[in-house]
Amino acid sequence: MRSDTPACISDRDRVASELNAWFVREARDLPWRAPGTSAWAVLVSEFMLQQTQVERVIPRWIAWLERWPTPAALAANEPGEAVRAWDRLGYPRRALWLHRAATEIVGLHGGEVPRDVDALLALTGVGPYTARAIAAFAYGERHPVVDTNTRRVLARLVHGVALAGMPKDSDLEDMEALLPEDRASAAVFNAAAMELGAIVCTARTPRCGFCPVAQWCEWRGSGYPANAPTKRPRQAAFEGSDRQARGRIMALLRRSSDAVSREAALAAAAGDEGHGKARRRSAQDPTQPQRAFDSLIADGLIVEFEGRVKLP
């Protein structure tokens, strides 16, 4: 962060003050930010938002909480119902993890979402980001919350580089160094940093002209140097992937109220929609459908039942 402004107040406080004021002014009106949102509702939102964009999450989140307003309500249903309600949010293992977390919350915490970070980390599907996000946003505890947006903001503001590299433990320390002392401001600042990364300090085309902390930005101050070659692993192509084949099986089972035959599941994996038009799949790996099927069994996302296949 640039410190070319003589100040009685530290730059840390100025950055937090400006960013928080911007957040109050400009932040999107997201439903899980409404006052009175339960810790469970926050937890559900954080699960859904892992690798899935806000706009796609909102309708699923509303429907989910209407149906399962408490951990106990979800835990009382079969996990397959959670997978079905997950719909097309992607990475459906998260639905299974969320159901498992609800069961753990009922069994270990009397049905109340814990507020302690270590207790949260022990829940299935809750990692370093989600645990701190729940503690900060649901309970107002003071913790650094660092997601991919915040890591990019820190990379630019503090380190003067265009993009963040691999996640590091020091990310939390970087955020801690900027975090306001009082809990309420700290919680807002965590959300504000994420929001800035989401709508201003974006990966591809940052809108620095609208950035409330541009004057302290190390990246801007050094002339927006080009992206240093980072080590970030590129995501594999989706088209033709095992993920796509798995997704087709899951889509078939979500829309089937009953179990389907193994053959139907394998055909779905191969991209055969079963209505007329033959799909060209000459270049496809012939072992892929079976591999996708087996991996879904291993994940517990589908089960075989008397020679047929259904959600768990």
Say if residues 47 and 130 touch (Cβ distance below 8 Å): yes
Joined together, the tokens standing for residue 230 give 């980072």
C-beta of 123: minimal distance to DNA in Å?
7
C-beta of 57: minimal distance to DNA in Å?
8
Q: CB-wise, 46 or 174, nearer to DNA?
A: 46
List the catalytic residues: 46
Residue 188: which of 2, 3, 35, 7 has the closest Cα?
35
Mutual angle of helices 183-199 and 170-178, in 10-degree steps: 110
Q: CB-wise, 215 or 300, nearer to DNA?
A: 300
C-beta of 19: minimal distance to DNA in Å?
16
Strands 308-310 and 303-305: antiparallel
d(CA 187, CA 175): 12
Joined together, the tokens standing for residue 176 give 């801690």
250 Cβ contact partners less than 8 Å away, ≥ 6 residues apart: 83, 92, 296, 301, 302
Residue 251: which of 265, 261, 237 has the closest Cα?
265
Q: CB-wise, 7 or 228, nearer to DNA?
A: 228
C-beta of 248: minimal distance to DNA in Å?
6
Say if residues 106 and 81 touch (Cβ distance below 8 Å): no
Q: CB-wise, 7 or 285, nearer to DNA?
A: 285
Across the chain, where does the E strand assignment appear?
Answer: 260-261, 303-305, 308-310
C-beta of 83: minimal distance to DNA in Å?
10
Q: CB-wise, 215 or 303, nearer to DNA?
A: 303
C-beta of 216: minimal distance to DNA in Å?
21
Element (H, E) at 236: none
DSSP state, residue 32 = G
Q: Is the dihedral of CA 194, 198, 199, 203 positive or negative?
A: positive
Q: CB-wise, 69 or 127, nearer to DNA?
A: 127
Determine the Cα angle at 145 with ends 2 and 1, to 5°: 5
Beta-carbon count within 10 A of 248 CB? 20
Q: Which residues contact DNA by CB under 7 A?
A: 30, 32, 45-46, 49-56, 88-93, 97, 123-131, 133, 147-149, 152, 163, 166, 194, 197-198, 202-204, 231-239, 241-244, 246-248, 250-251, 295
